A = this chain, B = another copy of it.
Amino acid sequence: MLMIPGPTPVPEKVLLAMAKHPIGHRSGDFSKIIAELTANLKWLHQTQNDVLMLTASGTGAMEAGIINFLSPGDRVLVGNNGKFGERWGKVSKAFGLVVEEITAEWGKALDPEEFRAKLTADTEKTIKAVILTHSETSTGVLNDLAAINQAVKEHGEALIIVDAVTSLGAVSIPIDELGLDVVGSGSQKGYMIPPGLAFVSVSAKAWKAYESAKCPRFYLDLKKYKKATDEDSSPFTPPINLMYGLQAALQMMQAEGLENIFARHQRHTEATRAAMKALGLPLFAPDNAASPAITAVAPLTVDAEQIRSTMRKKFDVALAGGQDHLKGKIFRIGHLGFVCDRDILSCVGALESTLQSLGYSDVQPGAGIAAAAKVFAN
């Protein structure tokens, strides 16, 4: 039972779709699939912008989102309050961008006012882009995208480039309404399919920036993907079987409806957080910046790795650990994608049992389940 922030649980329907024999990717039948996927991806992204599919991990999508629209020497603001924010700084530097980081402690949200201050001070309009992670997978923090985007819009020139890898499909990201320029995501998250596909949505403003952007690129050159997608095709051989899986997954998502999907993720976050509080386990991210995809928990007196190990051995529940300096200090419960209310109860129940067997003394038996159930009852 996967309760990690990716790969997330995959529905049987998707697994069986992936087991179909591939057809030729240059055939008319496959063009029809690409057309369907593109239309449904736009629906999921709430946008009329191009949404392009890459054979890559999420990092490939974000790299594409950065190098296609910027040039070496360009000044960019990068939000960094976790492992992934840190990574976009590294990608930007690898391609010669001049990076100014806006940081927050791991576990805290980025402060939109810090972005606003930098952007307001930039009267010469030298800031070419603001790059940030929406849901910081390493800490379970959801950054305030709308507020930061507002500051970018007041600036008027800078692009906004968003890592939505663990937020897309979990929380509403109205791309057109907000005017987000570049949004990257990956298949093994809210999409409910295994890893191997990545997605980038690109605005008209970003395409304009593409024309003068000079970072070198070929495999991740998004214009090639746009040209092919416009013809219901792909520039390079696409991962056909993953796309069969995506087709099934997007059909399931359409049947559920966006509002229901977002409400389900919100409910799972609330139930999980309520349960942790009832068990006396400190939450790593504050209530007002809680990711709908993942809840990070910082147990006070028991090693987080010991909890993970017991959960896996006794209950076959996989939780994620802390990354880098948080290893052993936190564990992370993924509740992203194909997760139902029962899964949350299973996980909380297994955790209660694990804590008792590890001698975590402050736990009132049943308190976690009671708290989660209360959320579900409302």
Minimum CB–CB distance from A249 to chain B (whole Å) comes to: 13
Q: Is A19 touching B23 in the complex (CB atoms < 8 A)? A: no
List the B side residues contacting A194 at CB < 8 Å.
22, 239-242
Distance, CA A219 to CA B65, complexed state (A):
12
Q: What string of 1s and 0s marks CB contacts (under 8 Å) between A224-267 and chain B? A: 00000000000011111110000000000000000000000000
Contact indicator B96/A216 (Cβ below 8 Å): yes
B196 & A318 in contact (Cβ 8 Å cutoff) = no
Asked if A44 is an interface residue, CB under 8 A from chain B, the answer is no
Beta-carbon contacts under 8 Å, A1-24 to B: 2, 4, 6-7, 9-10, 15-16, 18-24
A26 → chain B closest CB, angstroms: 8
Cα A15 to Cα B216 with chains together (Å): 37
A63 within 8 A of B: yes
Known contacts A10-B22, A19-B15, A24-B318; decide if A239 and B242 are in contact (CB<8 Å). yes
Which chain B residues lie closer than 8 Å to A299 at the CB level? none
Q: Chain A, interface size: which category?
A: 35 or more
**Which of A215, A221, A240 counts the most chain B CB atoms within 10 A?**
A240
Q: How far is the CA of A19 from the CA of B12 in the complex (A)?
A: 8
**0 or 1 for each of A161-194: is its CB under 8 Å from B? (1 = yes):** 0000000000000000000000000101000001
User: B27 contacts A7, CB within 8 Å?
Assistant: no
A219-B186 in contact (CB<8A): no
Interface flag for A342 (CB, 8 Å): no
Chain B residue nearest to A193 in the complex (CB): B241
Task: Give which listed residue, B6, B7, B220, B237, contacts A186 with CB less than 8 A.
Answer: B237
A85 at the interface (CB under 8 A from B): no
Is B95 touching A216 in the complex (CB atoms < 8 A)? Answer: yes
Return chain B residues, CB-CB under 8 Å to A7. Answer: 22-25, 237, 240
Specify which chain B residues have a CB less than 8 angstroms from the CB of A15 in the assembled complex.
19-21
Say whether A135 faces chain B, with CB atoms less than 8 Å apart. Answer: no
* Distance (whole angstroms) from the CB of A301 to the closest CB of chain B: 25
Q: Which of A50-58, A118-126, A287-295 contacts B (4 or more CB under 8 A)?
A: A50-58
Query: Is there an interface contact between B218 and A95, defined as CB atoms closer than 8 Å?
Result: yes
A314 interfacial by beta-carbon distance below 8 Å: no
Residues of B within 8 A of A377 (CB): none
Select from chain B the residue with minimum beta-carbon distance to A312: B27
Q: Chain B contacts of A94 at CB under 8 A?
A: 216-218, 221
Does residue A281 face the partner (Cβ distance < 8 Å to B)?
no
A59 within 8 A of B: yes
Q: How far is the CA of A220 from the CA of B67 in the complex (A)?
A: 13
Closest Cβ of chain B to A25, distance in Å, is 7
Cβ contact of A188, chosen from B9, B22, B56, B95, cutoff 8 A: B22
* A307 → chain B closest CB, angstroms: 16
Other-chain contact of A55, B57, B91, B217, B221 (Cβ < 8 Å): B57
Q: Does A374 belong to the interface (CB within 8 Å)?
A: no
Interface residue ranges of A276-320 to B (CB < 8 Å): 318, 320
A59 to B4, CA, bound (A): 31
Per a CB cutoff under 8 Å, which of B19, B188, B236, B242 touches A237? B188
**A contact set with B: CB distance below 8 Å:** 2, 4, 6-7, 9-10, 15-16, 18-27, 55-60, 63, 90-91, 94-96, 186, 188, 194-197, 215-221, 236-242, 318, 320
